[in-house]
Every structure is written in structure tokens, then in C-alpha cells.
């Protein structure tokens, strides 16, 4: 009888082929990263007096996120960074940016 039950079984929804893939948490984590960029963008656009401080404190973290695997998030992040640089009188060292891209 056990063999007959196994014969009609279509298998688990969570089979071995899914073991190496991304789970639901990883699939939606890009939404959190995109929302975080959106919050930073809202702060930068509504409170421009903080743009210099944001650049000084968070440039290394922002540059590291340029390696983002989701293109939409990466584009929004680069737009934010461009906006911050354009609206700031802060001059960034290209050597500092080069070092961040190499890591």
C-alpha cells in the first residue's frame, strides 16, 4: 500500500531543485534596499542642508552598494549619489572612490 501512495505522489513543493536557489526572504530583500534608498533620497531632496553630512559620513557605504545585483535599486542609488554630489560643495577624492570600488 505504501508503494501505491508513493506512485501517485507528485512530490514536495520544496524539492531538492529549490535547495540551492534563493528563498522568499532573499527574493524580496531588494525591496528593503530600494526602500532604504528611497528614504535617503527623500531626506536629501527635502532637507538639502544634510546633503554634505550624508556624503561625508555615508559615501563609503553608498559606493559599496554600487555592486547591487538588482538594476532598479542600483539606478536609484546612483541617481541619489549624483543628486548628492551635484547639490554639495564637497569635493570627493577619486582615490577614495577607486579604493572602494576595488574592495
Q: Does 67 fall in a domain?
A: yes
Integer angstrom CA distances of residue 38 from 42, 69, 89 = 6, 17, 23
Question: How far is the C-alpha of 88 from the C-alpha of 82, rounded, in Å?
Answer: 10
3-60 per-position pLDDT tens digit? 555 555 555 555 544 445 555 456 789 999 999 999 999 999 999 988 988 888 989 9
Q: Are 54 and 44 in contact (CB under 8 A)?
A: yes
Asked if residue 3 belongs to a domain, the reply is: no
Total number of domains constituting the chain: 1
Q: What is the pTM of this model?
A: 0.59
Euclidean distance between CA atoms 63 and 51, whole angstroms: 16
Cell of 43: 531626506
10 found inside a domain = no
Q: What is the DSSP string of 67-97?
A: G-SSHHHHHHHHHHHHHHHHT--PPPPHHHH
Amino acid at each position: 500500500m505504501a508503494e501505491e501512495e508513493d506512485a501517485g505522489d507528485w512530490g514536495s513543493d520544496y524539492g531538492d531543485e529549490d535547495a540551492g536557489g534563493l528563498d522568499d526572504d532573499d527574493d524580496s530583500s531588494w525591496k528593503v534596499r530600494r526602500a532604504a534608498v528611497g528614504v535617503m533620497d527623500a531626506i536629501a531632496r527635502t532637507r538639502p542642508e544634510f546633503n554634505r553630512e550624508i556624503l561625508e559620513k555615508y559615501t563609503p557605504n553608498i559606493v559599496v552598494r554600487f555592486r547591487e545585483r538588482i538594476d532598479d535599486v542600483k539606478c536609484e542609488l546612483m541617481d541619489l549619489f549624483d543628486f548628492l554630489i551635484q547639490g554639495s560643495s564637497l569635493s570627493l577624492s577619486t582615490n577614495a572612490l577607486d579604493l572602494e570600488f576595488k574592495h
